[in-house]
Amino acid sequence: MQEPKLFALLPDYICTPDGMAVDKDGDLILSCPNFADVKMSGCLVRIDKEKNFTKWVDVPVHPQTGVARPMGIAIGEDGDIYICDNQGWSGAEELLYKGRMLRIRIKDNKAVKTTVIADGMEHPNGVRILGDHLYVTQSLMSKVKDPSGLLVSCVYKFHLDDENIQIDNTLDDPNILTTFITQNTECQYGADGIAFDKNGNLYVGNFGDGAVHKITFNKDGSVRENKVWAKNQKELQTTDGMMFDEDGNLYIADFSANAIAKVNPNGEVTRIAQSPDSDGFNGELDQPGEPCVWRGMLVISCFDLVTGPDKVNTKHEMPATLSQLDL
């Protein structure tokens, strides 16, 4: 396995880094929900090729809650930023069902307008764009009571130009593309990481099961098949953020195991890096949230916040960190 290296110790306005995307200028954009300190704003940060950090956008807050918590992000061909504002991640009752899908219009590298694509979401997490549509994972659907008693989660599909869609968080929502059931009773947390391959097939990580589902489509965009494509509990415990490289390898943040896994085009899973519990200051994987292929390396955000019997991580430390692995 590879030894992860330190990409950067992060500025003090970041305590919880999460999603990443590469913009049209080749800069790395990092979303920071900053759950570890609720006094910090949720923001987007720009990182250039010299590793200069610029606090780029304070994400506009929800008018009812006064906060914004940006997690998954994607960048459209026009340069606009699409953001999963996961208001309810902390579990605070006043933030429940306040999650949003946002579009921030970018002009001359500045945020000029914010559009609410969807509101009322329980737990929006990851987002990817294909053509004129957004595909968004929602990791929890507490209102849906499956006969099995197990957790249901889903992927929503929105048009890029949609506005003010009110999400009900039930199976009646017309924007639901497909659903998932998490079988692992010890970790009831569902759809999380999301990615498209070069052929337009969709891949979604069912977090608690450590499984990657492959979703194929009919010509009209409806789902043809949703099936488990890759799963190996020895090599991959949980599936947080994920991203393909140019060769069709899928890299996955194994959040609970402090590890990164690689899934080759045949669906074979290999753990390529893992770290013990640490502060991450020397580049160790400190609860990896998302990997991003950038400038010949894999940059990894270290969420470093959640603890529990199934988690390697035991506490949060500052400064927050990014790790890297060679490709």
Alpha carbon distance 72, 129 (integer Å)? 12
pLDDT, position 143: 98
pLDDT, position 24: 92
| pTM of the model as a whole | 0.98
pLDDT, position 260: 98
Q: In what order do the strands lie in the sheet with 110-121?
A: 70-75, 81-85, 99-107, 110-121, 165-166
- Which domain covers residue 85, as residue numbers? 5-326
**DSSP summary character for residue 286:** S
Alpha carbon distance 304, 285 (integer Å)? 9
pLDDT, position 302: 98
Tokens representing residue 167 in the block: 């999400």
> In the predicted model, what is the mean pLDDT of residues 300-308?
98
Q: Is 234 exposed, middle or buried (0-12, 13-18, 19+ CB in 10 A)?
A: exposed
User: CATH code at 33?
Assistant: 2.120.10.30
Place 27 in a pLDDT band, splitting at 50, 70 and 90: very high
**pLDDT tens-digit readout, 126-178:** 999 999 999 999 999 999 999 999 999 999 999 999 999 999 999 999 999 99
Number of domains, the chain: 1
Q: What's the chain's average pLDDT?
A: 97
Alpha carbon distance 115, 113 (integer Å)? 7
**pLDDT tens-digit readout, 217-239:** 999 999 999 999 999 999 999 99
- What percent of the chain is predicted at pLDDT more than 70? 100
pLDDT, position 238: 98
**pLDDT tens-digit readout, 69-116:** 999 999 999 999 999 999 999 999 999 999 999 999 999 989 999 999
C-alpha closest to that of 256 among 231, 282, 274, 283: 274
pLDDT, position 239: 98
